[in-house]
Chain A
């Protein structure tokens, strides 16, 4: 598969993944462009891998967590999250738990946000996440537990009540 074929087939999926990891559409676009530009320069090697998409996704994750991105990911202005407003907002749902969750995930530390992206969006196991992040499974579990606890604690009380 050539690089152009790969981008044609998988750009959408990679960008969606990057957006969920970064939780910022503009940052995700920036990271995706950077990573794919780097991948293009190395495509002779990456293209021969069994799973080039997995490799590229790992590059996206590393780029997001890299120190060069720390400044833009440590504290995300809430107004950046407005870019995730639905195209046709549902007035009845404007303040529901889904909006709250979108905002709350954006407040998580980058590693916690990345872990929940890999766990729930990519449906990876703790061990797979640990391999991808180069961390120990216990570290991943800690990030995951803290993320879930933060979200559970911060959710509006109406959401916490059993329905």
Chain B
């Protein structure tokens, strides 16, 4: 029976495998790759800004007895940090009704491509979505760009500099990319806008230096040993309605898939599944649970919002101890400084 059963399984598997049709898959790869280049800025993004906050605000730590150290600023100098993270550039000519609803500030050492700042404008409500609206315009400030990513498309003039306009016929977005010093600027319009080349160039040519700085509304004062901040993302529809995500990772020891990651998110919702036993975190009720895909969640009720701290570990790795997750949660402070989110909803 065992051999017969195995033969039946193999026969069924071969039959199912024969149903695969690579024809439609091949065309979609390039489109998804282009979309991923944009999305990975969000997924991996986040945090010179948090580092900035750690330097700028002298909030006392309660973790001095812990084995791990307070987070250290990954890249920004203390001088720069004291005033917030620089935004570098902004788009002056946007579609009618577009306002800024998302900012991401990242440590450009933490990921490839080397993202420094991402700013998002849209006329649509973003709700719980950090970014990724079908009709939005984003400005990327990248450092040390990999030219193979960005010099594709039609050469165009952007205020005297040669850039490239690229429109993915079946893809999600149009882009204009051009170098400025050791940085690369990229204007990206999502496919829902379907802008003309002229409209894209008008936005690109309107990009100007922006001396403003930004600070995150959260401060994370402690991370487990080995983790460094990667990025901070803030988004919302109004200054009083925002969500903030902080992302940290370990250095991959054995390739990118060996990396541990840590997400800290304060928002109206949570990505965690239902369930989990009750735990008390700083006097607040929370729950802690694992899913079957190497991810452990801690969800804590913080007034009208949910603080979710979750960590993923690579196959064969070990999960972060509950006490460390709880320590991260208790070390996360909502600043209550309205100036940190005053830009949300402004052009």
Contacts and interface: CB of A to CB of B under 8 A. Distances in A.
Q: Which 8 A-B pairs have the closest CB atoms?
A: A134-B315, A37-B32, A134-B316, A67-B293, A16-B17, A37-B33, A101-B12, A19-B20
Given A97-B8, A120-B9, A19 B25 contact: no
A62 B257 contact: yes
A144 B149 CA distance: 43
Contacts of B22: 11-12, 15
Contacts, number: 129
A146 interface: no
Contact of A7 (B15, B19, B29, B255): B29
A120 B255 contact: no
Contact of B19 (A83, A111, A151): A83
Given A62-B315, A159-B8, A160-B1, A19 B29 contact: no
B109 interface: no
Interface in A111-163: 111, 116-117, 120-121, 133-135, 148, 151-152, 155, 159-160, 162-163
A33 interface: yes
B36 interface: yes
Nearest to B272: A67
Contacts of B2: 148
A65 B312 CA distance: 13
Contacts of A32: 25
Contacts of A15: 20-22, 25
Interface of A: 7, 11-12, 15-20, 23, 25, 28-29, 32-34, 36-38, 40-42, 45, 58-59, 62, 65-67, 70, 83-84, 86, 97-98, 101-102, 105, 110-111, 116-117, 120-121, 133-135, 148, 151-152, 155, 159-160, 162-163
B15 to A, nearest CB: 6
Given A66-B293, A134-B315, A98 B29 contact: no
Given A65-B293, A105-B12, A121-B17, A37 B317 contact: no
A40 B33 contact: yes
A84 B26 CA distance: 20
Contact of B36 (A25, A41, A101, A117): A41
B120 to A, nearest CB: 21
Nearest to A19: B20
Contacts of A86: 15
Please report whether the interface of chain B is mostly helix, strand, loop or mixed according to DSSP: helix
Given A148-B5, A152-B1, A98 B12 contact: yes
B193 to A, nearest CB: 22
A29 B16 contact: no
A12 B36 contact: no
Contacts of B21: 15, 25, 29
A11 B26 contact: yes
B37 interface: yes
A45 B255 CA distance: 9
A131 to B, nearest CB: 8
Nearest to A8: B26
25 contacts: A7-B29, A11-B26, A16-B17, A17-B17, A18-B20, A20-B16, A23-B16, A29-B24, A29-B28, A37-B31, A37-B33, A38-B36, A41-B40, A62-B315, A65-B292, A65-B293, A67-B295, A101-B8, A101-B11, A101-B12, A110-B292, A135-B316, A148-B5, A151-B5, A151-B9
